[in-house]
Amino acid sequence: KNEVEQSPQNLTAQEGEFITINCSYSVGISALHWLQQHPGGGIVSLFMLSSGKKKHGRLIATINIQEKHSSLHITASHPRDSAVYICAVWASGSRLTFGEGTQLTVNP
């Protein structure tokens, strides 16, 4: 079992829909990252959080430390949100452990 599990692996939505991507992890962590990777390959850091909730524009990230679970929500989804979303956890030392990513496709 991977230390970081994401669901779903693939997600297709219609423009305007509310989207949720989930991340579960099996170790104690000090921080969790959500990353976005566009078809061109570049990676952008969306959020780093250790508790509660963060919001940036249409993106919201939440984390429940006790349940070892985080969610990334996208409100009013748009085709430009189509990308791979990656969850990564910071457990100890100086290394992140990454999930395999969720491929999101938003159709117009």
Partner 1 sequence: NAGVTQTPKFQVLKTGQSMTLQCAQDMNHEYMSWYRQDPGMGLRLIHYSVGAGITDQGEVPNGYNVSRSTTEDFPLRLLSAAPSQTSVYFCASGKDRQPQHFGDGTRLSIL
**Interface with partner 1, residue 53, by CB under 8 A:** no
CA–CA gap between residue 78 and residue 48 (Å, rounded): 23
Cβ nearer to partner 1, comparing 38 with 53:
38
Q: What angle do CA 52, 57, 63 make, to 5 degrees?
A: 20
- Please state whether the peptide bond connecting residue 8 to the residue before it is cis, i.e. omega within 30 degrees of 0: yes
Cβ nearer to partner 1, comparing 15 with 100:
100
**Interface with partner 1, residue 91, by CB under 8 A:** no
**Interface with partner 1, residue 96, by CB under 8 A:** yes
**104 three-state secondary structure:** strand
**Interface with partner 1, residue 27, by CB under 8 A:** no
Of the residues 16, 75, 95, 107, which one makes contact with partner 1 according to CB under 8 A? 95
Tell me if 61 sits within 8 A of 54, measured CB to CB: yes
| Part of the chain binding partner 1 (CB under 8 A), chosen from 16-24, 58-66, 75-83, 99-107 | 99-107
